[in-house]
Structure 1
Amino acid sequence: MEQEKRGSFSGKIGFVLSTAGASVGLGNIWRFPYLCAKYGGGIFLIVYVLLALTFGYTMIVAETAIGRATNKSPVGAFRGLSHNNKLMKLGGWINAIIPILIVPYYSVIGGWVCKYLFEYIRGDVNAIAGENFFTSFITDGAETELWFIVFAILVLVVIYLGVENGIERVSKIVMPILVLLALVICVYSVTRPGAISGVKYLFIPNFKHFSIMTVVTAMGQMFYSLSIAMGILITFGSYVKKEVSIEESTKQVEIFDTAIAVIASLMIIPAVFAFSGGDESMLKAGPSLMFITMPKIFASMGFGRVIGIAFFALVLFAAVTSAIALTESAVSTFSDEFKWDRHRGVNIMAVIMLVLGSLSSLGYGPLANVKIIGMQFLDFFDFLTNSIMMPIAALAICVLITKFMTVEKLEAEVEQENHPFKRKGVFRFMIKFLCPLFVVIILVSAVLNVFGIISM
């Protein structure tokens, strides 16, 4: 009966677009360009693509196959495959809790995007580009809270509608629009005077910029960009029908995801070069690149307001699809573990989002003096989930497959309905040896970085 009640995607297109929607979020459009810029442009891109084709590919196949084989969200999947092993059950819960902790602070940043889109629609591009616009906004607790709630409501409404009517339908509409908008802004950006220097910086590798941190940062970015070890891919895998080829779908998600990351970089990096007269130091703006540097660039353009609206609409679409996936993973866990119906699960998630999200929302304003290991709430939740919990969750997935499920059973799941598993050799080597090594390196690097022992 569980099989019949569980939601499912209508087919491969629904799964690919929904998974791509989960993957293509602020990680690609905001985080990827500034990390790519900071860690050497072309050389970072090469390292990232190589990792996506090996590490990323392996983890997407693994998580999707675990979900489909068990027809469960992370906790149930880990419990079933490990025959109730206590350590593996903990691994399942870590996978399940990650999205519950990410979506509140992610929704705060989504609220910032809503605010900027609203201001571009109604306002003055020069005011938005002003020195103190962003700072005065995020320190105003009432306004950040309002926009955070607006974004959270957008996400929760889609989750209420379910898998096929909500997530899949929204993804099928939003993802093509997102690609179209990205291409329009990209063409506009690369045709600005001086922008060609940014294109060269992005695509021509300079080996002087290479360091071990290029590899570590690219590995960390993989978790953001491909939604690895967040419980999402296991949950979405449980909605995938047996006739859908997991390997083929993974390839399409990888291509879609990497293409959007490159297009986002082409929107931002050449525009920064054009705006700054080729000043590479402008690229080091980091997270403020989207909210401070880009508005300055739009203010200097002829169609600044139009491009600003298109840019922040694109970022909003990407943020919403990712937040939907994170919330769906949490709601699916509630349904499987506590037998709550969808509406109750969404209501509980709404309360969690409001409580934890408000801490992050108010963390730069009224709660600015409250810090955890020297970090504001938003930065702390980001560090806890992405630098600590996700590498542990990924390691748990590797152990689950190699020690409990067995690589052979996972391969058999991928090969169902006579689907070929072309990169079986790569998968086997990665899941047994390199993936566990990679996630340990990410975990250790992140911890050493936060305590100032190494600089990332």
Structure 2
Amino acid sequence: MQNKHSRNGFSGQLGFVMAAAGSAVGLGNIWRFPYLAAKDGGGVFLIVYLVLVLTFGFTLLTSDIAVGRHTQKSPIEAYETLKPGWGFLGKITFLVPAIIMTYYAVIGGWVLKYVMTYFMGKGHAAASSSYFASFITSPVAPIVYGLIFMIFTSLIVYRGVQNGVEKFSKVCMPILFFMIFAIAIFSLTLKHTENGVTRTGLQGLAVYMIPNFKGMTFGKFLSIALDAMSQLFFSLSVSMGIMVTYGSYVKKDVDLNYSINMIEIFDTIVAFLAGLMIIPSIYVFAGTEGMASGPSLIFVSLPKVFNAMGVAGNIFGAVFFIMVTFAALTSCISVLETLVADCTKLFHSSRKKTTLVLTVIYSAATVIITLGYTIFYFELKLPNGAVGQLLDLADYISNSVLMPITSLLSCVLIGWVVKPKLVIDEMELNGENFKRKSIYSAMVKYIAPVIMVVLFLQSTGFWQWLSKILH
């Protein structure tokens, strides 16, 4: 069943690049990248992130895609095929999208709500500080929006790899890129005067781009590097089985070197443009203080910015949240597609039946996670010091625990067990020259495993615990 499914994969290189880039370009690029850049010294974060994309991110992305195409199997089988006895890694990898899928449609529903708000011309209501909290704690509305998002995602996956995932990505990604680019350029033209002080979009660009080394210490630099590394997981869709799945759909005559380069470039440009459209806008209307809102930046801070724009704010807000919806959909589709690929093999079921069953399961999960802000509300202190609810707990387990473990084990398997030559040979299958093979070998064997251990200890609160013990 799986082999047949794999043969009916992407039609060619363009379809693969668009779908993989669509998976990579998600909410992590739109909301997480800008607030991390604002928090971590603007240009300092950009430089560190770019270096890590070209080394650390490139290594994980290459490994996942090459393993997928080499084995022609979904993650649940790929690692056992690669090396007997390593099937447990496929099971761990399976858990990541299985958990992420429980809450991704919830966030997608939040975005849909804001699309409707701005389409109805109620941007002034969204600018209220209590609007977001009132919405997510209401008994019905967030459930309805979450289910709509879930159903739309399922319909695309139900249609198959070429007719669903690939076709949607080919249409959606150019539109998404154009919208991000247009909003980014528009943000640079903004100007606002308040209390006799005029701030411009170009000044906001300087805040975003120019490295700020003021007060920089080794500890602060390490924190910036860890933020940038954790962002790579969100940004490139690595270590969650997605790129292994997409790699298994790639034909053997496709140039993986070119494809991976294009995915890296596309994803990095979109992340950069996301910062370019958000940070100058926030700066113009709220100064540097407005950029300190962290994850709530999209749903709380930006609506205030749109409201300050006057009549144009409703149009700007509508376009922005439509763009975010596209980004959320392409990522959510890739998560569900990975689960479908795994489950068709696990349960020997057809693609359409598997998609329908998973839709029912994750619709129920969407309702439960949504109710985590009402009847199932609780406050749990996570090991990294944050306090969260059901959604935050699921996000922490998948992104801060399972993904670093998956990456570490994947690097050990490829770097020390099957050896990097297996991936290098796959990259050079059609005679192409894998120009970064020396970097790849060094990263996968020595550097990436160390980085993953440090990141895992940081995300689990080990360093905070050690600091308390030492003091």
Deviates more, 1:395-404 or 1:8-17: 395-404
Question: Offset of 1:337 from its aligned partner?
Answer: 2.4
2:298 corresponding residue in structure 1: 290
Instruction: Determine if the alignment matches structure 1 residue 349 to structure 2 residue 392.
Output: no
Helix, strand or coil at the partner of 2:461? helix
Cα deviations across residues 66-118 of structure 1 (Å, max 9, x unaligned)? 000101111201111121x1xx2221111112111102211101000000001
- Cα distance in 1, alignment partners of residues 290 and 465 from structure 2: 24
| 1:269-418 matched pairs, under 5 angstroms | 269-276=279-286, 279-302=287-310, 303-369=312-378, 371=380, 375-418=388-431
Which aligned pairs between 1:45-444 and structure 2 lie closer than 5 A?
Answer: 45-83=46-84, 85=85, 88-193=86-191, 194-208=200-214, 209=216, 210-276=220-286, 279-302=287-310, 303-369=312-378, 371=380, 375-444=388-457
- 1:355–1:371 CA distance, 2 compared to 1 (3 A): farther
1:117-151 CA distances to partner (integer Å, 9 max, x unpaired)? 01110132111111211110011131111111010
Give the match's secondary structure for 1:291: coil
Contact residue 372 and residue 380 of structure 1 kept, 8 A:
no
The amino acid across from 1:237 in the alignment is G
**Contact 2:143–2:367 (CA under 8 A) maintained in structure 1:** yes
Range moving further from structure 2, 223-232 or 4-13? 4-13
Displacement, 1:247? 1.6
Deviation string, structure 1 residues 46-76 (Cα, Å, up to 9, x no partner): 1001000001111111110100010111120
Runs of 5+ consecutive residues of structure 1 not aligned to the other structure: none
**Which whole-Å CA distance do the structure 2 matches of 1:445 and 1:423 have between them?**
29
* Distance across 1 between alignment mates of 2:155 and 2:305: 34
2:204/2:281 contact within 8 Å kept: yes
Compared with structure 1, are the counterparts of its residues 125 and 5 closer, same or farther at alpha carbon in structure 2 (3 Å cutoff)?
closer
Question: Is residue 453 of structure 2 the alignment partner of residue 447 of structure 1?
Answer: no
The one-letter amino acid of 2:208's match is: L
Runs of 4+ in structure 1 off by over 4 angstroms are 370-374, 449-455
Contact 2:415 2:441 (C-alpha < 8 Å) held by counterparts: no
Q: How far off its partner does 1:453 sit?
A: 6.6
Distance 1:372 1:271 in 2: 33
Q: Secondary structure at the match of 2:430?
A: helix
User: In structure 1, what is the Cα distance between the partners aligned to 2:39 and 2:102?
Assistant: 27
Deviations 1:233-260 (A, max 9, x none): 0000000011111121111101100100
Report the CA distance between 1:206 and its aligned residue.
1.4
Please state how far the C-alpha of 1:372 moved relative to its aligned partner.
7.3
Query: Matched residue of 1:418: which SS?
Result: coil
Per-residue deviation, residues 324-355 of structure 1 (Å, max 9, x unmatched): 00000010001122211111211232133123
Q: Which moved more, 1:65-74 or 1:208-217?
A: 208-217
State the 1:184 CA deviation: 1.3
Q: 1:102 to 1:12 in 2, by over 3 A?
A: same
What amino acid is the match of 1:36? A
With 25-34 and 338-347 compared, the bigger mean Cα shift is at: 338-347
Are the equivalent residues in 2 in contact too, given 1:102–1:385 (CA < 8 A)?
A: yes
**Unpaired segments of 5 or more residues in structure 2?**
192-199
Alignment CA distance shift 1:308-1:380 (3 Å): same
Partner Cα distance (1:426, 1:413) in 2: 16
Question: How much has 1:5 moved relative to structure 2?
Answer: 4.2
Residue identity in the other structure for 1:333: D
The code of the aligned residue for 1:341 comes to: S
- Matches of 1:154 and 1:203 in 2, distance apart? 37
SS at the partner of 1:416?
Answer: coil
Name the TM-score, length of structure 2 as normaliser.
0.92
Aligned to 2:195: none
- SS for the counterpart of 2:388 is coil
Shift of 1:365: 1.9
What displacement does 1:201 show?
A: 1.5
Q: How far does the alpha carbon of each residue in 1:394-430 deviate from its partner, in whole angstroms, 9 at most, with x for none?
A: 1121122123332112211111111210111000000
**Counterpart-to-counterpart distance in 1, 2:210 and 2:18:** 30
Of stretches 436-445 and 340-349 in structure 1, the one that deviates more from structure 2 is: 340-349
Indicate the RMSD between aligned Cα atoms, in angstroms: 1.7
Among all aligned residue pairs of Structure 1 and Structure 2, give the percentage whose two residues are the same amino acid: 40
8 Å CA contact 2:188, 2:201 repeated in 1: yes
Q: Which moved further from structure 2: 391-400 or 350-359?
A: 350-359
SS class of match (1:225): helix
Distance 1:5 1:50 in 2: 36
Higher mean displacement: 51-60 or 204-213: 204-213
Aligned partners of 1:404 and 1:233: how far apart in 2?
21
Distance (whole Å) between structure 1 residues aligned to residue 464 and residue 34 of structure 2: 26
Comparing 46-55 and 122-131, the one that deviates more: 122-131
The CA distance in 1 between the partners of 2:128 and 2:16, in whole Å, is 42
Structure 2: distance between partners of 1:447 and 1:421: 36
Kept after mapping to 1: 8 A contact 2:457/2:463: no
Contact 1:55 1:435 in 2 (8 A): yes
Q: 1:396 to 1:352 in 2, by over 3 A?
A: farther
CA distance in 2, matches of 1:40, 1:5: 46
Specify the alignment match of 1:17 in structure 2: 18
1:140 alignment partner, SS class: coil
